[in-house]
């Protein structure tokens, strides 16, 4: 019996996903960050062609324009290809706002609310393509204020009634780490690129399950950028 070994070649088609560029400071990290690629889905129904949906982020969590990058795929130590770039795939982004409003930041609530409302507008978010959710840091874990939604009005309606600050200290680290762990299951579309926008005064004296290093390491492990917006707490004095 003769065996015919058809070598063929593997053609990898990259379809890039658009991701949100949030121009805010990233949560401080002791561990240097590196650029990363994320494969969100694949299609092997047309072998020998393999189609991959991917996106990339630099060390600060900002999107990479992979059409301008030279990509090499290696299998068992050897490059495979050729690689064919097919353009963008509108899978959308999932942005989770985590707002931390302990006593002392009440004066900043109007600005906080306006910032979130301005995100849920044309130019920043594409309705029914991108999704957003809003959570509030609690005394033990994050509380959902707005479930994942792709509609502007849902976000706008939240602020028809002013937000209510917590009456005591908030568990920023526990809330943030728990949200990181849940983010993958919260995405309306598994292909979405997820990120967290953390709005906080940075204080936490009540978290018991995790510390700041745990939160940073978990974000790095999951490849989820945390963009931080700092609030001024009038109850905190500085030298």
How far, in Å, CA of 115 to CA of 21, rounded? Answer: 15
Q: Are 92 and 155 in contact (CB under 8 A)?
A: no
Do 32 and 134 share a structural domain? Answer: no
Last residue of some domain: 23, 55, 89? 89
Do 126 and 70 share a structural domain? Answer: no
Do 141 and 76 share a structural domain? Answer: no
What is the span of the domain harbouring residue 17? 11-89
How far, in Å, CA of 28 to CA of 57, rounded? Answer: 17
Do 215 and 105 share a structural domain? Answer: yes
Do 168 and 110 share a structural domain? Answer: yes
pLDDT greater at residue 205 or residue 7: 205
Full-model pTM: 0.77
Instruction: Establish if 1 belongs to a structural domain.
Output: no
Last residue of some domain: 51, 72, 89? 89
Give the number of domains in the chain.
2
Mean pLDDT of 133-155: 94
Instruction: Establish if 238 belongs to a structural domain.
Output: no
pLDDT, tens only, 8-28: 344 454 444 433 333 333 344
Do 97 and 65 share a structural domain? Answer: no
Last residue of some domain: 60, 89, 118? 89
Instruction: Establish if 142 belongs to a structural domain.
Output: yes
């Amino acid at each position: 019996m003769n065996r015919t070994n058809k070598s063929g070649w593997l053609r990898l088609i990259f379809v890039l996903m658009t991701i949100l560029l949030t121009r805010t400071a990233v949560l401080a990290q002791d561990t240097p960050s590196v650029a990363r690629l994320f494969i969100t889905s694949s299609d092997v129904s047309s072998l020998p062609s393999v189609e991959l949906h991917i996106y990339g982020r630099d060390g600060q969590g900002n999107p990479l324009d992979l059409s301008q990058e030279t990509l090499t795929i290696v299998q068992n130590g050897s490059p495979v290809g050729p690689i064919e770039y097919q353009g963008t795939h509108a899978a959308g982004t999932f942005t989770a706002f985590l707002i931390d409003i302990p006593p002392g930041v009440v004066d900043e609530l109007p600005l906080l609310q306006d910032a979130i409302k301005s995100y849920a507008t044309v130019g920043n978010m594409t309705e029914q393509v991108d999704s957003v959710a809003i959570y509030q840091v609690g005394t033990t874990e994050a509380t959902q204020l707005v479930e994942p939604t792709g509609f502007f009005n849902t976000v706008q309606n939240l602020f028809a009634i002013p937000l209510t600050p917590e009456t005591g200290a908030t568990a920023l680290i526990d809330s943030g780490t728990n949200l990181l762990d849940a983010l993958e299951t919260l995405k309306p579309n598994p292909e979405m690129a997820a990120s967290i926008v953390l709005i906080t005064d940075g204080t936490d004296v009540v978290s018991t399950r995790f510390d700041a290093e745990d939160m940073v390491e978990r974000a790095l492990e999951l490849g989820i950028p945390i963009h931080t917006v700092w609030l001024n707490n009038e109850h905190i004095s500085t030298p």
